[in-house]
Amino acid sequence: MEELARFLEQRKEERLLRRLSPLAWRAPARAATGDQEYIDFSSNDYLGLSAHPALIRAAQDALVKYGVGAGASRLMSGDLDIHHALEEAVAAFKGAEAALVFNSGYQANTGLLPALVDRHDVIFADSLSHASLLDGAVLSRAKLIRFRHNDMDHLADLLHEQRASYTRALLVTESVFSMDGDRAPLRELVALKERYHCRLLVDEAHATGIFGPQGRGCVEADGLTGQVEFVMGTFSKALGGFGAFLASTQLVKDYLVNAARSFIYSTALPPAIIAANLAALQVCRDEPSLGKKLLLKADRFRKALQREKWKTGGESQIIPVLVGESARALALSAKLAECGFRVLAVRPPTVPEGQARLRFSLCSAHNSTHLIKVLEALNDLR
């Protein structure tokens, strides 16, 4: 076990050690430890749906009706009508023929990629793709080629050089990138995958609930419904619940039920969570402008940061403030915490060396006072 201790010691020296630090409670845009309350800029509960009365009521009703656990995998006795109702609702929401629910975004991606490609194939993935996509790529045994972030010229060059050497090719991207808050050029990706006979997988984890009419995601927002073979999204972020989905065709769904190991060999999601996820989709239909309002607020905050000469970017509710070294990001995050703001410091290896940052996750529950106050606090720390 000495090597484990050495690993931790080294992480600590490099100021990269991760530690759990439990909260006493959290709510949309708020969090508290035993002795301090915070305005929270670090959760992905973008629309505050985790605390929405309709989701809570749906989960409570389902708890009483079905009990807590699902009891088995979907292929055994864990498959309930309510799982199918959610899949039909997702398919309608996404304008897809069919959808399959996975237990989490991580399990969706680590199940999908190995089911869709194998060692004769190739995956071209954006270099900033989420760890779950990269882990899925490794599990698939396909050749993994990473293109520079959002660099379509680089991708086109790689496709030109490498595509012909493999049987099938899968392009992989997020639609909204979790650490940079920017969007993928989906139209160009669709054009390239047509030209080079690839398929395209888009991870909408941070776009679902936010972008497009009723929060249907960037594929819809960019007018590409029906042109992306595999559209994945999660219930765990803006939708306030838990779990994930793939929206695709009935053929793909039937295939995945037989081939996606993370689907086959894991207990079905609890019915109360499924009910909450269904209610979240209904909230999106009932209040179609939630995402748009949040994006407008984020835009104003980004512009305010820029006016104060902070180095920022993105075009979503995720706003990075680039500060350089890990130590500086950690120090700023700690000082902001003293002032009552929880803002995550994101460091290598999650982001490239020298690009440590504060990551602001904006939520519907942040008001203009919160935003003015946190900007003042940040300016005072310069």
Ligand X SMILES: *Cc1c(COP(=O)(O)O)cnc(C)c1O
Contact letters (x/-) for ligand X, 159-178, by CB under 6 A?
---------------x---x
Question: Which of 42, 150, 173, 236 contacts ligand X by CB under 6 A?
Answer: 236
Stretch that binds ligand X, among 25-33, 101-109, 112-120, 264-272 (CB under 6 A): 101-109
Is 248 assigned a catalytic role? no
What are the Cα distances from residue 133, in Å, to 47, 233, 267, 313?
25, 12, 21, 23
Q: Provide the H-helix boundaries in the chain.
A: 2-13, 53-66, 81-94, 105-116, 131-140, 152-162, 186-195, 218-221, 250-259, 261-264, 271-286, 290-307, 326-338, 368-380
Q: Select which of 206, 253, 366, 370 is catalytic.
A: 206
Tokens of 99: 């959808």
* Alpha-carbon span 305 to 98, nearest angstrom: 42
* Alpha-carbon span 157 to 328, nearest angstrom: 37
105 is a site residue for ligand X (CB under 6 A): yes
Is 12 assigned a catalytic role? no
**Residue at 70: amino acid letter:** A
Within 10 angstroms of residue 298's Cβ, the number of other Cβ atoms is: 25
Is 277 assigned a catalytic role? no
Report the nearest approach of ligand X to the CB of residue 203 (Å): 5
Give the nearer residue to ligand X in terms of CB position, either 166 or 211.
Answer: 211
Question: Which of 112, 128, 205, 356 contacts ligand X by CB under 6 A?
Answer: 205
Question: Which of 74, 146, 206, 370 contacts ligand X by CB under 6 A?
Answer: 206
Stretch that binds ligand X, among 162-170, 198-206, 299-307, 331-339 (CB under 6 A): 198-206
Q: Select which of 182, 203, 204, 222 is catalytic.
A: 203
Is 206 assigned a catalytic role? yes
Q: What is the secondary structure of 149-161 as a DSSP string?
A: TT-HHHHHHHHHH
150 is a site residue for ligand X (CB under 6 A): no
Is 174 assigned a catalytic role? yes
Report the nearest approach of ligand X to the CB of residue 59 (Å): 17
Angle formed at CA 42 by CA 32 and CA 233, multiple of 5 degrees: 125
203 is a site residue for ligand X (CB under 6 A): yes
Looking at beta carbons, which residue is closest to ligand X? 105
Pairing of strands 356-361, 318-324: antiparallel
Report the nearest approach of ligand X to the CB of residue 173 (Å): 10
234 is a site residue for ligand X (CB under 6 A): yes
* Alpha-carbon span 210 to 96, nearest angstrom: 18
140 is a site residue for ligand X (CB under 6 A): no
Report the nearest approach of ligand X to the CB of residue 178 (Å): 4
CA 208 to chain centre: 8
Supply the residues annotated as catalytic.
Answer: 44, 130, 174, 178, 203, 206, 237
* Residue ranges that bind ligand X, judged by CB under 6 A: 104-106, 109, 130, 132, 174, 178, 203, 205-206, 234, 236, 244
